[in-house]
Amino acid sequence: MSFGNNESSSTLGGSEDSIVCWEEKDPENPYNWSSGKKSGIRLITMMLIINSTMGSALPSNAIPFIAAEWGITSQQQEVLPISVYLIGYVMGPILWAPLSEQYGRRNLTIGTFITFTLFTLACALAPSWPAFLIFRLFSGVFASAPIAIVTGIYADIYGDPRTRGRSMGMFLAATLFGPLFAPIVSGYCAPTIGWRWVFWIGLIYAGATIVPLLFLPETYGPVLLLRRAKRMRKQDPSARVVAPHELEEKSLKELATVVLTRPIRMIIFEPIVNTSCAYLALCYAIFYMTFEAYPIIFQGLYKLSPGECGLLYLTIGAGCLLSLPVFFIYDNILRNAYEHDAPWTRKEEYRRLPLACIGGPMFAISLFWLGWTSRQDVHFVVPMLAGIPFGFGFMCIFQALLNYLTDAYEIFAASANAAASCSRSLLATVLPLATTPMFARLGISGGCSLLGGLSMLMCAIPFVFLWQGEKIRANSKFCLVLRQRKEEMASRIEQQRRRTIRLESAAGVRVKAGGVGGLSSSGGSTTQGPTAEGRMEDV
């Protein structure tokens, strides 16, 4: 784990200060935690993700019953229960991701999830249509926190890109299964026991998630090193020891202008981020358009019930599951190629992007399949099966690009993924509003063909990254800062090693690797603090 200084202080980071860093095989370093502990964290985060994403589509098949209770007849208003939730997905990550990179993951995750649970309760008790929409908006704002933070948690605990990539695959499966199960719940509950029970069921699951969530440990390395530095100073008040995070402390002005704006700056100035976001946003928006399109096709054309229509989303889930073995097979091929030092493995882009090169065309083909076979003279099973390549392609695209963003931006992964989350949620808020008018004007085949054509154009993005991605990263400001931080920390650790050797030689005894100036009992490795010279530009 690498950290660097963005600013110096007269009291922190002076020439006599020592900086706490991780020792080799340090048990407090999240990279070195046991596989059981990491699996527990992964399970908790997947429960959070399913809560968050299931909430987005929870009212999908209940909207006619919700609208009937409050006399809503406008088709545009009937889309709002899902759209306003996704507006929250746009607003939230811009706040939650950079805050988690400043103050840590645990407390922010717990606080936002409990608030999300309370707003889910409010939706179940909503007294009016405006109140219901307000509650849905705030549910989305706080539900977006896991989407923004969990990728950062995986970057915290998995130093090996291969293991991290596999965990990201499971994370992405959870993001897909939440919205796929939601129409089944609402499709069967709303007509039988009432639409409010849709949210009571969501509340029950959220409540069951809070208990294990309380056991989620802090995973963010800079915050853990900060705690270690404070512990060392408490043990020895005269100790001049600081954590890297203290050298980067931000004022409120800097917090607003540097930290909170980081996702926005990344999406504007980072080509890898903005092009990935454009592709992910289109795929995500099309996915949410299916919650409007499937009822038009399968209830309107084939006369299926809401519950039966909800079950058809399971074909998308089947495609999602089929992508996982493909992901693991490619992962094994990549590992074997690394072991044999195959030349193509030296390009970082080949670690992730080939999956998007496979999934992109399949995603586009599935849309043409759905549109061209949705006719009364064709059995509904034929267009239903288009969900399999749809889910397969969707998962491959997301696995490839989100893993690529995480690998490329490391400690800024949460902000990069927040930028992706905001952009895709923004488009997913807007495009579903056009679904019904688009199908009315272009027909089912024309509407699906339009979306398929746009998806086919976007297929070029991962191929361009394979071709020019290394050059793009070389010119990236954020990637440059990451390289500088790694080099700077490596230099400090080497200085500390030499200093330890000199102390051993002078004292004639072996000094613990982490001990400097009587601080070895704390169990923390330290390195000499930087001066004001060579200040690194804030990102």
pLDDT digits over 407-450, tens only?
777 667 667 777 887 788 888 888 888 888 899 999 999 999 99
Question: What does the H/E/C string look like for 117-144?
Answer: HHHHHHHHCCCCHHHHHHHHHHHHHHHH
pLDDT (0 to 100) of residue 108: 94
In this structure, the dihedral spanned by the alpha carbons of residues 23, 25, 27 and 33, taken in order and rounded to 10 degrees, is 130
- Asked whether the predicted pLDDT for residue 235 surpasses 60, the reply is yes
Residues contacting residue 32 through CB under 8 Å, at least 6 positions apart:
25, 26
> What tokens does 505 get?
């030689």
Residues 464-517 pLDDT 10s: 888 887 787 777 777 677 667 666 766 766 676 677 677 667 765 444 444 433
Mean pLDDT, the chain, rounded, equals 81
Q: Specify the amino acid at residue 359.
A: G
pLDDT, tens only, 103-130 = 889 999 999 999 999 999 999 999 999 9
Q: How far is C-alpha 212 from the chain's CA centre?
A: 20
The structural domains of the chain, with segments of one domain joined by +, span: 1-32+223-256+487-539, 33-219+261-475
Which of 276, 438, 434, 418 lies closest to 371, judged by CA? 438
Transcribe 442-465 into DSSP letters: HHHHHHHHHHHHHHHHHTHHHHHH
pLDDT at 219: 93
Averaged pLDDT, 13-25: 67
pLDDT in tens, 378-407: 999 999 999 999 999 999 998 888 888 877
Cα–Cα distance measured from residue 475 to residue 217, given in angstroms and rounded to the nearest whole number: 36
CATH of 33-219+261-475, one of 3.40.50.150, 3.40.640.10, 1.20.1250.20, 3.30.360.10: 1.20.1250.20
CB–CB of 291/432 below 8 Å? Answer: yes
Tokens of residue 348, six digits: 């970082």
- To which residue do tokens 């997301």 refer? 398
Residue carrying structure tokens 């490329």: 408
According to the per-residue pLDDT averaged within each range, which of 12-16, 151-155, 205-209 is highest? 205-209
Spatial separation of the C-alpha atoms in residues 304 and 507, rounded to whole Å: 84
Q: What is the mean pLDDT of residues 56-82?
A: 87
Handedness of CA 194, 199, 205, 208 (dihedral sign): negative
Residues 138-195 pLDDT 10s: 999 999 999 888 888 998 998 877 787 778 778 888 888 888 888 888 888 988 999 9
Q: Tell me the pLDDT tens digit for each residue of 167-178.
A: 877 888 888 888
* pTM of the model as a whole: 0.72
